[in-house]
Amino acid sequence: MTTTAHGADASQDEAGDERHGPPHVQLQVQTPRGLWSMTEPEEAPRRPDYPISTKIQVVIDDARTVFKFVENDSKYTLFLGGEMLAPERTLASYHIAPDALLVLSVQGGNA
Partner 1 sequence: MSVPVSLSLETVRCELAAATAYAAAAGLELDASELSENTLQFHVVFWNMQRERFTAEFDCRDYSMYPPTIEFVDATRTLRGTPALYPAGFHGMPCVCARYNRKAYTERGGPHGDWRLVDWQLPTGNGVAIDSLAMILSDLHSKISQSAGRLG
Q: Find out whether 87 and 55 touch, Cβ atoms under 8 Å.
A: yes
Specify the residue, 12 or 74, whose C-beta has the smaller distance to partner 1.
74
Q: Find out whether 27 and 48 touch, Cβ atoms under 8 Å.
A: yes
For the CB of residue 30, give the shortest distance to partner 1 in the complex, in Å: 4
For the CB of residue 21, give the shortest distance to partner 1 in the complex, in Å: 29
Specify the residue, 16 or 82, whose C-beta has the smaller distance to partner 1.
82
Specify the residue, 7 or 32, whose C-beta has the smaller distance to partner 1.
32
- Strands 83-85 and 24-26 turn out to be unpaired
- Interacting residues with partner 1 (CB under 8 A): 30-35, 69, 71-75, 77, 79, 81-82, 84, 101, 103, 105-111
For the CB of residue 90, give the shortest distance to partner 1 in the complex, in Å: 21
Specify the residue, 25 or 78, whose C-beta has the smaller distance to partner 1.
78
Q: Find out whether 76 and 106 touch, Cβ atoms under 8 Å.
A: yes
* DSSP string across 52-65: TT-BHHHHHHHHHH
For the CB of residue 109, give the shortest distance to partner 1 in the complex, in Å: 3
Is the peptide bond preceding residue 48 cis, with omega within 30 degrees of 0? no
